[in-house]
Amino acid sequence: MACLLEAPLRISVLSEVTATSRHYVDRLFDPDPQKVLQGVIDMKNAVIGNNKQKANLIVLGAVPRLLYLLQQGSSSSELRAECAVVLGSLAMGTENNIKSLVDCHIIPALLQGLLCPDLIFIEACLRCLRTVFISPVTPVQLLYTDPTVIPHLMSLLCRSQRTQEYITQIFSHCCKTPEHQTVLFNHGAIQNIAPLLISPSYKVRMQALKCFSVLAYENTQVSMTLVNVLVDEELLSQVFVRMMQRDQPIDMQLTAAKCLTYMCRAGAIRTDDSCIVLKTLPCLVRMCSKERLLEERVEGAETLAYLMEPDVELQRIASVTDHLVAMLADYFKYPSSVSAITDIKRLDHDLKHAHELRQAAFKLYASLGSNDEDIRKKITETENMMDRIVSGLSESSVKVRLAAVRCLHSLSRSVQQLRTSFHDHAVWKPLMKLLQNAPDEVLVMASSTLCNLLLEFSPSKEPILESGVIELLCSLTQSDSPALRVNGIWALMNMAFQADQKVKGEIVRALGTEQLFRLLSDPDSNVLMKTLGLLRNLLSTRPHIDQVMSSHGKQIMQAVTLILEGEHSIEVKEQTLCILANIADGNTAKELIMTNDDILQKIKYYMAHSNVKLQLAATFCISNLIWNEEDGEANAMTGSQERQDKLRELGFVDILHKLTQASDPNLCDRAKTAMQQYLA
C-alpha cells in the first residue's frame, strides 16, 4: 500500500521504536473483538499529541486495518466510532500524515460511514473528515466526486451542533470555485446553513458565517439570494451587521464584513447602503488598525480594497476614516528593528507576515487612489511612500511586486504625480526591470503603468525611450493575452504621439509592417483601436506622412479599405477615416487617395452617413484633399486644382454644399471651410 512505502527516512527511524508501536498494531488483528476494541482505545490514548507515534503507526500499516474495522459491518458501533476517532487523531499530525491517510482512501470510507445511523460514529467520521479536508494537501475535489455526498451532508446538518460545526467547516474549506459554489447552492446550502447563524454555539455560528463568505464571493446568484433570506424574521444583512458589532470576536466581525463586502461587489447590496457605508467600511478600517493581529490586518486591508475598488465615494470616505492612509504606512514597519533584537520568535512571526502586510497595503493604496486626485496626492505624500513602491517593485515575492505595481499604476493616473514624484524617484527604472521577466499578471499591470509613463507630458518618457523599450513593447504585442497586446500597442501609440522621425522610424522598423497589419485584424477591438491610434500618430506632420506612405502606402491603404468595409464600431471607423484625413494631408501621400476611386467612393459614402462623427471625419479628409497649398510651388498649386476638379466631377461639391446646411455646427463649419477652397 502506498502508505506503507512512505519515505526511506521513516524506515531508519523505525528500527528504534518499532517494538512498542508494533504492539499496538498487532492488537488490531486479535481474534477477540473485545481485545481489538481495547487495543484501539489504547492506541487512541497513545497517539494523542504524539506526532512521532502517529507517524510510526501509519508506517506500520495501522490505517488500512483501522479502515477495515471501521467499514466492517460486523464491528460493534463502539469499535467503529473508536476507529474513526483514532484516524481523526492521526490526521491531526503532520501534512505527511494527511497525505498517507488520503492515499489509503480514507475519504470515501469515512463518507460511506456517514450513512450509518449512529450519531456518535457520524460525528467521529465528520471530525476526521473535517481535519483531512481543511488541510491544504487534500484535493477538495474529493468531496464532489460522489454526487450523493453533498445532499447527505446537508441532511446531517440537523443532527447535532457537532455535525453542524464540522460540515460547515468542510464546506467553507472545500468551496473554491464557482462550480463548487453552484453545487452547494443547488443543494440548498443557504436555506440549510442560514439558521445556524443564530446557533447558541459560537463555533457553529462562526463556521456558518465562513460558509457564507466563500459562497457569496464573486457569485451574483448566491449574493442575490442571500439578501432576501430571513433568519428568525431578521434580514440576513442585519444579522451580519450585528455580527460586526465591536464587542463581537474579531474573527466574527471580519468574516461578517467579508460576507457583506462580497454581497455588495456581486451587486446584491448598493454601495451607498448604510450597512456598507456606516457599518462594513468602518469595520474593515478598524481591522487595519495597529491593535489587530497581523493576519487580521492583512485580511482587513485586502477586503477593504476589494470593497471600494469600483466606488469613488467609498474611496473618499475610507481615505478620511481613522486616518487610514497614515495607518497603512505602519504595514511597512515589519519586522520592526526592536523585535529583531528582543525576541526571535516575534521576529520570525513578523518576517512571515511582512510580505503579506506589504502587499495588502499596496493593494489598499491602489484601490484608494484609483479615482480621486486628492487621495493620490495624500498617498504619495505619506512618509517614504514612493521609495516603498520602488523597493516593492523589486521584491522577491511576486505577490508584493504585483501589488506594488498595481499601486503605482493607480497613482500613475495622476498627471501631477507623473510630472513630479514619479520622475523624482525614477520609478521607470524598476518598472522596466520588472517588465523584463515577470508573470503575465505582473506584466499587464506594469505595461499598463508604462503606458501612462510614456504620455507626452511625462518627463520619464525620454529616459524610458533611451532604455530600449521599443523592442520590449513590440514583443508584448505578440503576446497571447489580449490585455498585454493592448498595453503594448497602447504604449507604442503614446510613444509615437508627437514623436520625432527617428522614434517613429524605429517603431515601424521594430514592429514590422507584418505585425502592424496583423494587429489591424486583431479580434480584440481594443487592440484594433490602439493600433489605428498608433497609425494615426505615425502619420502626423507632413514629412512623416509622406515618408511612411512612400514605404508602406500600399499596405496601409489596403488595411484602411478592409476596415472601412468590415463590420466595425463607429469608433473604429472614425479612427480609420481620421487616418485617411492624415494621409490626405501629406504632399505626396495625397495621391494614394486621389488615385484610388474605391476609397473616394467610401469617403463620399461616409460624408452622407447618419453618424455625425463619421461625417465630420470624412469631410475633414476631403477638405485636406482640396486644400490650396499656400506655401507650395506652382505645380502643387496646379495639383490642388486638378484634385478639386476631379472631386467636383465625383459630386463631392454637391455633398459639401448640402453639408453647409447641416444641423451640426461643427460639420457645417467644416463644410463651409472646404467650400471656400473652391472659391479661392
Partner 1 sequence: MSGQSSGCGFLMSVVVHGDSALNEQENELNQQLRRLYPAVNELETPLPRSWSPKDKFSYIGLSQNNLRVHYKGHGKTPKDAASVRATHPIPAACGVYYFEVKIISKGRDGYMGIGLSAQGVNMNRLPGWDKHSYGYHGDDGHSFCSSGTGQPYGPTFTTGDVIGCCVNLINNTCFYTKNGHSLVYVCLCPQPNLYPTVGLQTPGEVVDANFGQHPFVFDIEDYMREWRTKIQAQIDRFPIGDREGEWQSMIQKMVASYLVHHSYCATAEAFAKSTDQAVHEELASIKNRQKIQKLVLSGRMGEAIETTQQLYPSLLESNPNLLFMLKEGLPALVQKDLHFLFCCKTFLNLIHEHDPVLDQINLVFFLCPGCSPGFDGSCCNGVMSSKAHPSPHSHKPCPPGPALLAAAAELSSLNGSHSLQQPNASTDVDMEVDHFTNGVTESSSNGFFNGTSKHGAQTEDCDADMEVESAQSKRQLCGGSQAAIERMIHFGRELQSMSEHLRRECGKNSVNKKMLKDAFSLLAYSDPWTSPVGYQLDSIQREPVCSTLNSAILETHNLPKQPPLAQAVGQAAQCLSIMAHSGSGSCAFAAVDDYLH
Which chain residues interact with partner 1 by CB under 8 A?
245-247, 272, 274, 277-279, 281-282, 317, 320-323, 326-327
Interacting residues of 328 by C-beta distance below 8 A, sequence separation 6+: 288, 301, 361, 364, 365, 382
Q: How far is the CB of 414 from partner 1 (least distance, A)?
A: 19
Q: How far is the CB of 282 from partner 1 (least distance, A)?
A: 7
Q: Which residues pair with 231 in a beta bridge?
A: 234
Interacting residues of 540 by C-beta distance below 8 A, sequence separation 6+: 498, 582
SS3 per residue for 572-583: HHHHHHHHHHHH
Q: How far is the CB of 318 from partner 1 (least distance, A)?
A: 9
Q: Is 189 or 317 the residue whose CB approaches partner 1 more closely?
A: 317
Q: Is 67 or 314 the residue whose CB approaches partner 1 more closely?
A: 314
Q: How far is the CB of 250 from partner 1 (least distance, A)?
A: 11
Q: Is 290 or 502 the residue whose CB approaches partner 1 more closely?
A: 290
Q: Is 273 or 664 the residue whose CB approaches partner 1 more closely?
A: 273
The C-alpha cell at 456 is 507626452
How far is residue 557's CA from residue 64's CA, in Å, rounded to a whole number? 75
- Would you call 3 helix, strand, or coil by DSSP? coil
Which residue from 222, 280, 230 is spatially nearest to 255, judged by alpha carbons? Answer: 280
Q: How far is the CB of 345 from partner 1 (least distance, A)?
A: 22
How far is residue 242's CA from residue 256's CA, in Å, rounded to a whole number? 9
Q: How far is the CB of 316 from partner 1 (least distance, A)?
A: 8
Q: Is 141 or 274 the residue whose CB approaches partner 1 more closely?
A: 274
The tally of CA atoms less than 13 A away on the side-chain side of residue 567 is 1
Q: Is 274 or 551 the residue whose CB approaches partner 1 more closely?
A: 274
Q: How far is the CB of 319 from partner 1 (least distance, A)?
A: 9
Residue 139: φ, ψ to 5°: -70, 120
Tell me if 334 sits within 8 A of 294, measured CB to CB: yes
Q: How far is the CB of 274 from partner 1 (least distance, A)?
A: 5
Q: How far apart are the first and last CA of the chain?
A: 97
Q: How far is the CB of 246 from partner 1 (least distance, A)?
A: 3
Q: Is 104 or 284 the residue whose CB approaches partner 1 more closely?
A: 284
| CA-CA-CA-CA torsion sign (445, 447, 453, 455) | negative
Q: How far is the CB of 301 from partner 1 (least distance, A)?
A: 17
Q: Is 51 or 321 the residue whose CB approaches partner 1 more closely?
A: 321
Q: Which residues pair with 234 in a beta bridge?
A: 231
Q: How far is the CB of 273 from partner 1 (least distance, A)?
A: 10
Segments in 369-512 forming alpha helices (H): 373-380, 385-393, 398-411, 415-419, 421-424, 428-436, 440-453, 461-466, 469-476, 482-496, 501-511
| CA-CA-CA-CA torsion sign (230, 234, 239, 241) | positive
CA distances from 150 to 22, 189, 190 (A): 38, 9, 13
Tell me if 3 sits within 8 A of 46, measured CB to CB: no
Q: Is 272 or 565 the residue whose CB approaches partner 1 more closely?
A: 272
Q: How far is the CB of 279 from partner 1 (least distance, A)?
A: 8
Segments in 134-232 forming alpha helices (H): 149-156, 161-174, 178-186, 189-193, 202-216, 220-227
Q: How far is the CB of 253 from partner 1 (least distance, A)?
A: 10
Q: Is 195 or 282 the residue whose CB approaches partner 1 more closely?
A: 282
Q: Is 51 or 382 the residue whose CB approaches partner 1 more closely?
A: 382
Q: Is 95 or 272 the residue whose CB approaches partner 1 more closely?
A: 272
Q: How far is the CB of 270 from partner 1 (least distance, A)?
A: 12
Cis preceding-peptide flag for 335 (omega within 30 of 0): yes
| Cell 474593515 sits on residue | 284
| Cell 487534500 sits on residue | 138
| Cell 503507526 sits on residue | 57
How far is residue 489's CA from residue 526's CA, in Å, rounded to a whole number? 10
Q: Is 288 or 435 the residue whose CB approaches partner 1 more closely?
A: 288
Neighbour tally for 451: CB within 10 Å: 22
The C-alpha cell at 532 is 489605428
Which residue from 319, 193, 300, 205 is spatially nearest to 252, judged by alpha carbons? Answer: 205
Q: Is 170 or 324 the residue whose CB approaches partner 1 more closely?
A: 324
